[in-house]
Amino acid sequence: MGRKVTVATCALNQWALDFEGNLQRILKSIEIAKNRGARYRLGPELEICGYGCWDHYYESDTLLHSFQVLAALLESPVTQDIICDVGMPVMHRNVRYNCRVIFLNRKILLIRPKMALANEGNYRELRWFTPWSRSRHTEEYLLPRMIQDLTKQETAPFGDAVLATWDTCIGSEICEELWTPHSPHIDMGLDGVEIITNASGSHHVLRKANTRVDLVTMATSKNGGIYLLANQKGCDGDRLYYDGCAMIAMNGSVFAQGSQFSLDDVEVLTATLDLEDVRSYRAEISSRNLAASRASPYPRVKVDFALSCHEDLLAPVSEPMEWKYHSPEEEISLGPACWLWDFLRRSQQAGFLLPLSGGVDSAATACLVYSMCCQVCKSVRSGNQEVLADVRTIVNQISYTPQDPRDLCGRILTTCYMASKNSSQETCTRARELAQQIGSHHISLNIDPAVKAVMGIFSLVTGKSPLFAAHGGSSRENLALQNVQARIRMVLAYLFAQLSLWSRGVRGGLLVLGSANVDESLLGYLTKYDCSSADINPIGGISKTDLRAFVQFCIERFQLPALQSILLAPATAELEPLADGQVSQTDEEDMGMTYAELSVFGKLRKVAKMGPYSMFCKLLGMWRHICTPRQVADKVKRFFSRYSMNRHKMTTLTPAYHAENYSPEDNRFDLRPFLYNTGWPWQFQCIENQVLQLERAAPQSLDGVD
């Protein structure tokens, strides 16, 4: 009897509600898996409809179309002689579940509903689905007639069960269940399940790839067994980028690693593993075996099929490998670049327009587009026909084959430097040099005539002419004059996005890119409806500190020396008059805090879930060597005052790539009011009382030092 099994898992770039495209990608993955000898194929969570359908899950259409795709899969000759494990929503007794549907040769073997739903951060699964709470219990599910006609089954088992083939036992868990304190794989493994599958819809967050890998290797290290993880990849229609990392592990080691970032819509991993390795590994762990002897059994669905072949003695088995991780700078260069590519091709636009100011943030955004162009050229060189077809559609040239990233960048990226009388020559030069080095189509213009016209209307109506503070004006006048410049840049950005290709005799429009970083958004250090307002923002979830490290990385990786002077220049909005031709305004002076401090405030506010008082208490310890209690109190109060005063700006924040867990994104991730009592009287009084107590105690403790 054979004992070597070849199994397949995959990462698919599914798109919410793109049932036709999703079907084709699923079929392609099954075909590849079969061609490599696999007899079990696992796909990502909710792959039939796409994970990010959100409130479309409420619609009966989504359920109907999912079953229609399932019918097409059952009917296809591609799915014969391989166990297929696909994800879709299913309604059972008027309750909607997030399910795996496992079938073989036109027969549905099991519908396995998700038992632990993800409901934190960006996830809202409890809004649309109900967890299956009946452990080790199944019911009969009445199949829709369109499925009955194909399978000749009236019902299929629905619930928490495992599959027993002739040669092994297979159990499912779905995404979040791997992350729970008592994962299903523990009890399934103790009950003799040898292959655990996990279908995920897990998105990218910087520096988090190791968590997923550690959970899988630890699961198989303690309990033995084979573990397959599938994941969605790409942008399926919103702010998240699903970062693949499909894997196959056994007994604590990784045997196959999928890419974290790539432009391939379908990626299939296979491994050939020896079931006897699982059995011998488990046999010597006496503590595991003692627990297994007491394990409650799972219902087993008998499957007349084997994953192994009779004669497999000479079949080579896969070798263990070390997981290769990207550095944070590489993650930034690849994740948002792949997200931009998906957005560009799926929105059917002709490219991007980026207001390029000569500062770090817009330079980093330009580098991401250039990185995207490098990825596209690399993908085309490796023979990816889908990417080539998409490029030709975008640039509207059926014979074009991208080879040089600079040439491609010139076709799809328009950069625009919008000068005013408050702009320095240095920023203009820096923007121009970077544009030359990445190859973008660069426009330089002056906004002063538009600013003068708008202010002329105001003066005509009111008879008043506001002045900058440098010329004797009040802070209200000063801020209003800065905001007019900023908002006119937004108006011009959209005008050029719509018509600059038209003016060059080229078809199509451009997506406007924003470049406000996560720290500026958190504090509200941006003008509402200025150039931070755009179609999408690839850096909106990335901290200033990480962006600076990324720009430094790009100097070497992409040979862009122009970035050196951009990194050395002080960050400035250039909205106030120059002093003797030099910049008189810097971001950190304007904000009243450093970007490094802002990152700390952001992490404590969101990740550590701290209000003003608990943040003050925490920072007293963290900053005890550099700040007095009074200085800590002042910094915390300043942050919360500015943050709450500007929280309303988060409601109009441009959709941004999610990369940081302290993002203030108001749409789904960070839900807060946007009208605060910005004085925080009760909270700040608690801080004040504590400071006074510490200040009274300080002289006594110093006396004791003598």
Catalytic residues, which ones?
Answer: 45, 114, 175, 357
83 burial level (CB within 10 Å; 0-12, 13-18, 19+) = buried
**Alpha carbon separation from 354 to 408, 415, 418, 515, 532 (Å, rounded):** 15, 5, 11, 8, 11
Could you give the CA distance from residue 693 to residue 701 in angstroms, rounded to a whole number?
Answer: 12
Q: How far apart are CA 409 and CA 566, in angstroms?
A: 20
Q: For tokens 């045997």, what's the residue? A: 255
Q: Which of 11, 79, 68 is nearest to 40 (CA)?
A: 79
**187 with 32: CB under 8 angstroms?**
no
Cα–Cα distances in angstroms (integers) from residue 375 to residues 409, 505, 696, in the given order? 12, 28, 61
Angle value at C-alpha 178, between 122 and 34, nearest 5 degrees: 100
Check if the beta carbon of residue 511 is closer than 8 Å to that of residue 351.
Answer: yes
- Give the span between the Cα atoms of 527 and 483, in whole angstroms: 6
CB 577, CB 471: distance < 8 Å = yes
Would you state the structure tokens that stand for residue 257, as one six-digit string?
A: 């690693």
Q: For the chain, how big is the Rg over CA atoms in Å?
A: 29
Q: Which residues contact 227 (CB under 8 A, 6 or more apart)?
A: 185, 195, 196, 197, 198, 216, 219, 220, 247, 248, 249, 250
Decide: helix, strand or coil at residue 179. helix
CB neighbours of residue 706 within 10 Å: 4
CB-based contacts of 54: which residues, under 8 Å, 6+ apart?
Answer: 16, 124, 128, 238
Spatial contact of 523 and 643, defined as CB atoms under 8 Å apart = yes
E strands in 371-465:
413-419, 441-446
Q: Which helix (H) or strand (E) holds 88?
A: strand 83-92
* Pairing of the two strands 107-113 and 95-104: antiparallel
The single-letter DSSP state of residue 661 is: T
Closest to 187 (Cα-Cα) out of 323, 291, 99, 331: 291
3-state SS string over 228-282?
A: EEEEEEECCCCCCCEECCCEEEECCEEEEECCCCCCCCEEEEEEEEEHHHHHHHH
